[in-house]
Amino acid sequence: MNLNQVTLPSHDVPACIAFYRLMGFTLIVDSSPRYARFECPEGDATFSLHHVDDGPSDSGVLVYFECDDLDTRVADLCAKGIAFEQMPADQGWLWREARLRDPSGNRLCLFHAGGNRRHPPWRVAA
């Protein structure tokens, strides 16, 4: 199996479409105002937005998008007017992360982990 699709709730799909396009994602399905789907700039993964009347609640879900040029990317997005709740910072789990929310309140993390994403020093032996 391979995880390649996540759907996020949105109370304003058109506003989220504009946000994710500004972030650099490619819109591949536009069924506004109910649904939209995007391709990530790298890799084969996609994600979508589905309209909800309420929400999203702060469910604790955090969607991670990895990028090799984290600090440059965050600076570019800030220059475009995207606000971050946490600027890039090194974490104890050996990742560098920046955090933000989309217009519907979905929690996002842009990060760089390199080889530590799948192979941290504490990885469980097979």
- Indicate the SS3 state at residue 19: helix
Return the pLDDT at 58: 73
What string of pLDDT tens digits covers the 126 residues of the chain?
Answer: 988 999 999 999 999 999 999 999 999 999 999 999 999 999 999 999 999 997 666 777 899 999 999 999 999 999 999 999 999 999 999 999 999 999 999 999 999 999 999 999 999 998
Rounded to whole angstroms, the Cα distance separating 19 from 55 reads 17
Give whole-number Cα distances, 59 to 2, 40, 46, 110, in Å: 24, 23, 21, 19
- The superfamily in CATH containing domain 5-116 is 2,3-Dihydroxybiphenyl 1,2-Dioxygenase, domain 1 (3.10.180.10)
Entry pTM: 0.93
Instruction: Provide the residue ranges of all domains of the chain, joining segments of one domain with +.
Output: 5-116
